[in-house]
């Protein structure tokens, strides 16, 4: 039986990891990502250690990126109160800029076609998916995997309910160097506004 052709829409962590997994199973995979690599993303840049065995099963050795080993969490409230906790499983501190580039290179090595273009629609027509990009190019697939972020062009096209809802949360990412900040600590700070 012929394996289905799979299109993945979105080339972040979910899309890239899915592409690696599926390509290792000999599926024909095409991945669409609107942005080029490498790129910065707002992200906590923390990966729980529980994911390491899965990544290794995909042939992805995160140690190649020389991650920081994280064992502690510092959490602050809007009023400045702080609490700390040990992270029993621990995790890895890895730059998304480096991680996404690392994963996309694995994807390409596995023979996945990576197309840098925004997908504007995906429809199921006559037993096939038809995917169209903003430039008007059309692609067909047996399966489409949506790995795009919330509030994407496709979410608007599909008229998803949450598009009209505003979020009361905003994330800001920054890298700081401080001589007294432990190297095995990740901090999450809440602030007004």
Q: What is the pLDDT of residues 172-184, one digit of tens each?
A: 777 778 888 888 9
pTM value is 0.87
Percentage of the chain modeled with pLDDT above 70: 95
Q: What's the confidence (pLDDT) of residue 43?
A: 81
DSSP symbol at 29: E
| Residue 164: CATH number of its domain | 3.50.50.60
Q: What is the pLDDT of residues 1-59, one digit of tens each?
A: 567 899 999 999 999 999 999 999 999 999 999 999 888 887 888 899 999 999 999 99
CA-derived radius of gyration, the chain: 19
**Is residue 161's pLDDT more than 90?**
no
Rounded to whole angstroms, the Cα distance separating 103 from 13 reads 8
Give the pLDDT of residue 2: 63
Instruction: Dump pLDDT digits (tens) for 88-107.
Output: 999 999 999 999 999 999 99
- Say if residues 130 and 123 touch (Cβ distance below 8 Å): yes
Which domain does 64 fall in, by range? 5-189
Using a pLDDT cut of 90, give the percent of the chain over it: 68
Mean pLDDT of 68-91: 94
Pairing of strands 128-133, 138-141: antiparallel
Structure tokens at 134: 């903003």
Greatest CA separation for the chain: 62
Residue written as token pair 């979020």: 167
Tell me the pLDDT of the chain averaged across its residues. 90
Domain count, the chain: 1
């Amino acid at each position: 039986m012929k394996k289905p052709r799979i299109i993945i829409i979105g080339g972040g962590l979910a899309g890239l990891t899915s592409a690696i997994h599926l390509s290792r199973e000999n599926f024909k995979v095409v991945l669409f990502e609107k942005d080029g690599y490498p790129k910065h993303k707002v992200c906590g840049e923390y990966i729980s250690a529980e994911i390491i065995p899965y990544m290794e099963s995909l042939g992805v050795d995160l140690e190649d990126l020389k991650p920081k080993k994280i064992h502690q969490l510092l959490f602050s409230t809007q009023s400045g109160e702080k609490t700390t906790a040990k992270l029993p499983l621990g995790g890895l501190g890895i730059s998304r800029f480096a991680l996404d580039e690392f994963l996309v290179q694995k994807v390409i090595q596995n023979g996945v076609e990576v197309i840098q273009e925004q997908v504007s629609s995906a429809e199921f027509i006559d037993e096939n998916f038809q995917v169209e990009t903003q430039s008007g190019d059309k692609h067909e697939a047996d399966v489409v995997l949506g790995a795009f972020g919330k509030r994407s062009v496709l979410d608007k096209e599909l008229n998803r309910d949450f598009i009209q809802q505003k979020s009361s949360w905003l994330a800001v990412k920054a890298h700081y160097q401080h001589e007294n900040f432990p190297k095995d600590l990740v901090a999450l700070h809440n602030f007004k506004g």
